């Protein structure tokens, strides 16, 4: 039984295995059939493809074929129909070239059976042929996007593909249409070409052209040649012509063709006839119409990045430069279009660096990345942009201004003369003696003109808002927006606008024609309405101010004062008067919010030019004495407003302090000091026992002992009372401790010694003006000494002690911090340091020949302690020659080195010490000459009446005493102004009067009657006072000289019996300094 079961199981397993084997066999048979079918299909397809490719090769030959074998156009059509079924762009690239080469060549054959276009003549093939041509041409476009123009083989292929596209998008070159019998076909075939162009445009033809142009032109060395450029431009213009310049296609042309960097520049250099096509098709005019329309341009421009807009702007500007006649016919629209493009660019420009910004060589910090391939094209785009401010384009853009001024030149001149007269604009008179009667006559005539001008002269001033002013204002607005957009080309733009005399003189005359006082009221009224200063009229004023600021900054004294080009001195006087009044009224009347005045570009432009004119006037006078004062300001009221912290008064004092009389500013300066002393508790009124410092000084070591004891004092202690005890040559303490007078003596002696050129801390110019010595390093701790000297001078100014220390004006400018201003020009200040070097550099600047003949390099040879030391103005400067191109840089670098770099450490140390005592904010209300007056006293002649009025008398003298009367009579009638200055220096150690008059001299000017010599003088006694008062004297003291105690401003005068004796002795004493003995 068990055997039967086992056999059954075995049988079942064998049957199952047999079934599986049969199933596997069937699957193998099926797989074999599938494989065989696939292989047969593949082989058939490969044979099909191979046969087609063989047929194509047989039909079209290859590139090396020298002669073409013509085939029927229908046969070609059928072959191509098969070919495009199996076309592979990579595998069939060479075959496609051969096909293009063949079908293009058939277009030059007269035989219609051969010509490829003839297939379209048969109705059954027309639709399919059009599809085939579109496919053929689109594959050409695809290849163009992949090829590289810089590769020679690729360049050949590009030319072939371009040729194919050019041939089949226009019937102009089709030979079969040149016979008259085919004229009837032209309209149909032209429409066919238009249809093909429409298809290509829809398939992004312009994108293809843009890619090709970018590859070939956005390079440092363009790779596209003349023929290729001609083909590309023709191809790009044909859709416009076919569509009759539709807005859509003009938009595509603008955004994809004219955004190619420097396209027009390269066309001008390589293919000028393409520009003729632009001109004949009025591309510029149509682009201007599109761009000046807000509705049409905004959707287009918003699709472009900042770099593309910049490239578009460059091409449009270049076309404007080349087509000036076209530009002149649509000038206003063109300027609006440029302004629109500039504003789009400006929207991507930021003022500061951040994580989201990138540096652009034209725009500065930019919120978008520059496309990697465009870096090399930036120099070409920059050349195009520079055409905007070239002389050729400026003559067109500013033609309305020039025409307006030339047509009404005489009227304009009369208006300016009337305005100048009514404003009392008169330059200072020099080398003329004007009698009182002539002055009276001038005043009479002036008043007569003032009364007559508004009544008798017709009101023919131009008005803001009129067509003439609006056109000029829009032009100025264009260049003002360019200045704000092209941040890295700002100086270049300003230089272009200042070049020759196209813009600035005419623009100033135009502004002067806007009303009395150069349109002051018109602008103020307009500003009251438009407080944001965005109107084009304000842009016009801003442009004038920015350009004039740039021009005056680069003009030297010879050009500004002697040649007087482009402005005469009278123009500068009128200009400064207008700006002074305008800036004052803007702030005083709150026409611009005083809280945001620092961030107002309009105000900053006006204020910058005003302060530049003021600084030039401070350095070399061209206005009258009271020119800068505002008559509307009442000093007492203004000071009261400052005390009440009225914002407008504070801003005026900060921005234009010169409009306040000098006396009030000096009083304000002393008030600042008094207030600080009170806050620090340095006055008896503020503190019962104000702090003080006692120093002991040996007379033979005044500087050394003073430096040792005072140099390390904190500024607050130095501002407090410093009491001085002198030790005489025998080592004994001198009687008495300082009561202000001895400290004054110590301060004067210290300053006199440290500023002595023999110490080599300071040197003197040819005009005997002081400045830090470049070789001061030979002194040990020279920088610490400079800081100490600065503190001592600051202490003198702080205490109101005038010292006779005349500084070179350039050094005073450093003290005020002017060298950090963007308007500071080293070359302008150079005459105050080295007049000879200034003359030499001016000669270099104006030299007409080749400057290399002078054999100059960017280096300076300095003779120092018997050695020749060469300083390089730039790295490797001794090997860099000065040329006509870089001579301006050389001039400024040389002046900057001499006045700043060579003495930089000494100047910084001195200023650090000076400012630790006197706050720079306090000094900012003074000009450079005024700071010198603050240090050394007034520069006007000594007022003897004021001196006598505030003189104190001791020892029996009084104002009516015979000797006192003689003294002031001698000073008035016998002494020259120079001798009067010597007399004042003899008594006070300073040759100049106090700034606010002798009423403010501390200690007061005093005269004491003495009977004995200084070493025997024990002071006033009852007998000496009585004898002095009644002029009782046994014998005339002819052997005694007048002496002085400069620390007390005290003149010790013997009771002379004769006026002649007093005159002779006093003159001898002040000229020989024999009476300079300190008690």
Catalytic residue among 141, 345, 498, 1047: 1047
Cα-Cα-Cα-Cα torsion 464, 466, 470, 473, nearest 10 degrees, comes to -30
Give the three-state DSSP class for 303. coil
Q: Are 718 and 732 in contact (CB under 8 A)?
A: no
- Count of CB atoms within 10 A of residue 885's CB? 8
Q: Are 390 and 498 in contact (CB under 8 A)?
A: no
Rounded Cα–Cα distance for residues 806 and 811 (Å): 10
661: which residues sit within 8 A by CB, 6+ positions away? Answer: 629, 635
217, with CB counted inside 10 A (0-12, 13-18, 19+), is: buried
494, with CB counted inside 10 A (0-12, 13-18, 19+), is: buried
- Count of CB atoms within 10 A of residue 263's CB? 29
Buried b (16+ CB within 10 A) or exposed e, 1001-1039: bebebbbbbbbeeeeebeebeeebeebbbeeeeeeebee
Closest residue by Cα to residue 117 from 106, 101, 128, 127:
106
785: which residues sit within 8 A by CB, 6+ positions away? Answer: 707, 754, 761, 776, 779
12, with CB counted inside 10 A (0-12, 13-18, 19+), is: exposed
Cα end-to-end span (Å), the chain:
159
Rounded Cα–Cα distance for residues 124 and 78 (Å): 13
Rounded Cα–Cα distance for residues 233 and 274 (Å): 7
The number of C-alpha atoms within 13 Å of 1060 and in the hemisphere containing its C-beta is: 0
Closest residue by Cα to residue 602 from 476, 739, 724:
476
Q: What are phi and psi of 758, to 5 degrees?
A: -65, -20
Rounded Cα–Cα distance for residues 461 and 416 (Å): 10
Rounded Cα–Cα distance for residues 459 and 199 (Å): 64
* Known active-site residue 274: no
Closest residue by Cα to residue 552 from 485, 479, 494:
494
Closest residue by Cα to residue 526 from 535, 517, 518, 515:
535
DSSP 220-239: SS----HHHHHHHHHHHHHH
Catalytic residues: 1047
């Amino acid at each position: 039984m068990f055997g039967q079961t086992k056999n059954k199981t075995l049988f079942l397993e064998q049957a199952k295995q047999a079934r599986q084997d049969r199933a596997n066999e069937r699957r193998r048979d099926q797989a074999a059939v599938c494989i065989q079918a696939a292989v047969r299909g593949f082989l058939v397809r490969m044979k099909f493809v191979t046969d087609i490719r063989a047929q194509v090769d047989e039909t079209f030959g290859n590139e090396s074929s020298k002669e073409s074998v013509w085939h029927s156009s229908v046969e070609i059509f059928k072959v191509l129909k098969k070919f495009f079924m199996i076309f592979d762009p990579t595998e069939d690239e060479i075959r496609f070239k051969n096909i293009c080469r063949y079908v293009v060549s058939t277009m030059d054959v007269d035989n219609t059976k051969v010509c490829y276009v003839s297939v379209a003549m048969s109705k059954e093939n027309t639709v399919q042929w059009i599809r085939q041509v579109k496919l053929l041409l689109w594959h050409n476009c695809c290849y163009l996007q992949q090829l590289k123009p810089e590769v020679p083989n690729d360049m050949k292929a590009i030319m072939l593909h371009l040729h194919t596209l050019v041939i089949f998008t226009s019937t102009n070159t089709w030979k079969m249409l040149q016979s008259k019998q085919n004229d009837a076909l032209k309209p149909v075939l032209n429409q066919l070409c238009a249809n093909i162009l429409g298809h290509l445009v829809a398939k992004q033809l312009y994108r293809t052209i843009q890619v090709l142009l970018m590859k070939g032109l956005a390079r440092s060395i363009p790779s596209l040649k003349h023929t290729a450029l001609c083909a590309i431009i023709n191809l790009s213009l044909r859709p416009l012509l076919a569509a009759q310049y539709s807005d859509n296609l003009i938009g595509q042309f603008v955004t994809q063709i004219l955004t190619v960097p420097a396209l027009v520049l390269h066309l001008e250099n390589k293919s000028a006839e393409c520009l003729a096509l632009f001109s004949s098709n009025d591309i510029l005019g149509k682009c201007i119409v599109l761009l000046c329309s807000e509705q049409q341009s905004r959707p287009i421009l918003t699709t472009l990045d900042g770099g593309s807009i910049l490239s578009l702007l460059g091409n449009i500007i270049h076309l404007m430069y080349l087509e000036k006649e076209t530009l002149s016919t649509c000038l206003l629209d063109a300027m609006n279009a440029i302004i629109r493009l500039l504003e789009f660019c400006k929207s991507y420009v930021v003022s500061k660096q951040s994580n989201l910004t990138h540096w652009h060589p034209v725009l500065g910090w930019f919120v978008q990345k520059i496309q990697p391939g465009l870096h090399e094209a930036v120099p070409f785009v920059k050349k195009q942009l520079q055409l905007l401010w070239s002389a050729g384009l400026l003559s067109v853009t500013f033609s309305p201004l020039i025409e307006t001024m030339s047509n009404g030149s005489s009227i304009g001149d009369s208006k300016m003369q009337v305005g100048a007269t009514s404003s009392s604009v008169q330059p200072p008179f020099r080398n003329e003696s004007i009698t009182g009667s002539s002055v009276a006559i001038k005043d009479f005539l002036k008043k007569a003109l003032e009364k007559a001008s508004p009544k008798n002269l017709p009101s023919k001033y131009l008005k803001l808002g009129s067509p003439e002013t609006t056109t000029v204002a829009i032009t100025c607005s264009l260049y003002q927006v360019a200045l704000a957009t092209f941040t890295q080309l700002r100086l270049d733009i300003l230089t272009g606008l200042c070049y020759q005399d196209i813009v600035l003189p005419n623009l100033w005359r135009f502004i002067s024609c806007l009303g009395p006082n150069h349109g002051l009221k018109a602008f103020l009224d307009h500003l009251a309405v438009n407080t944001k200063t965005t109107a084009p009229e304000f842009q016009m004023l801003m442009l004038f101010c920015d350009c004039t600021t740039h021009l005056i900054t680069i003009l030297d004294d010879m050009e500004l004062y002697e040649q007087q080009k482009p402005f005469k001195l009278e123009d500068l006087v009128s200009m400064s008067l207008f700006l002074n009044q305008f800036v004052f009224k803007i702030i005083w009347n709150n026409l611009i919010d005083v809280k945001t005045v620092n961030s107002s570009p309009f105000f900053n432009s006006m204020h910058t030019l005003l302060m530049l004119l003021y600084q030039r006037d401070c350095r070399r006078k061209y206005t009258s004495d009271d020119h800068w004062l505002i008559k509307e300001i009442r000093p007492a009221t203004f000071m009261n407003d400052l005390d009440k912290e009225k914002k407008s008064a504070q801003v005026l004092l900060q921005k234009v302090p010169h409009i306040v009389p000098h006396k009030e500013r000096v009083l304000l300066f002393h008030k600042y000091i008094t207030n600080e002393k009170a806050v620090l508790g340095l006055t008896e009124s503020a503190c019962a026992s104000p702090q003080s410092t006692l120093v002991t000084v040996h007379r033979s070591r005044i500087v050394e002992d003073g430096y040792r004891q005072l140099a390390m004092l904190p500024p607050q202690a130095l501002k407090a009372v410093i009491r001085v005890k002198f030790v005489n040559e025998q080592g004994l303490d001198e009687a008495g401790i300082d009561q202000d007078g001895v400290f004054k003596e110590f301060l004067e002696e210290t300053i006199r010694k440290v500023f002595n050129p023999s110490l080599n801390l300071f040197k003197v110019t040819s005009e005997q003006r002081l400045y830090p010595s470049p070789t001061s390093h030979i002194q040990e701790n020279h920088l610490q000494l400079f800081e100490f000297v600065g503190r001592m001078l600051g202490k003198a100014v702080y205490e109101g002690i005038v010292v006779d220390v005349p500084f070179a004006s350039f050094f005073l400018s450093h003290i005020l911090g002017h060298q950090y201003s963007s308007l500071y020009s080293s070359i302008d200040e150079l005459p105050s340091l080295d007049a000879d070097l200034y003359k030499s550099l001016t000669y270099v600047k104006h030299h007409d020949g080749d400057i290399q003949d002078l054999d100059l390099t960017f280096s300076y040879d300095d003779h120092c302690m018997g050695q020749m030391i060469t300083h390089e103005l730039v790295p490797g400067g001794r090997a860099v020659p000065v040329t006509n191109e870089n001579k301006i840089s050389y001039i400024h670098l040389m002046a900057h080195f001499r006045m700043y770099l060579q003495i930089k450490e000494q100047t910084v140390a001195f200023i650090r010490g000076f400012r630790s005592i006197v706050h720079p904010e306090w000094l900012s209300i003074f000009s450079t000459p005024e700071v010198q007056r603050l240090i050394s006293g007034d520069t006007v002649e000594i007022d003897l009446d004021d001196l006598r009025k505030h003189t104190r008398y001791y020892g029996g003298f009084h104002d009516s005493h015979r000797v006192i009367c003689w003294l002031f009579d001698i000073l008035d009638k016998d002494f020259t102004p120079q001798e009067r200055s010597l007399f004042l220096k003899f008594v006070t150690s300073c040759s100049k009067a106090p700034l606010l008059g002798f009423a403010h001299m501390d200690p007061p000017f005093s005269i004491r009657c003495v009977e004995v010599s200084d070493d025997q003088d024990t002071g006033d006694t009852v007998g000496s006072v009585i004898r002095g008062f009644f002029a009782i004297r046994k014998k005339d003291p002819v052997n005694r000289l007048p002496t002085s105690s400069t620390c007390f401003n005290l003149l010790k005068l013997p009771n002379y019996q004769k006026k002649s004796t007093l005159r002779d002795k006093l003159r001898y004493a002040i000229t020989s300094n024999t009476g300079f003995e300190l008690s």
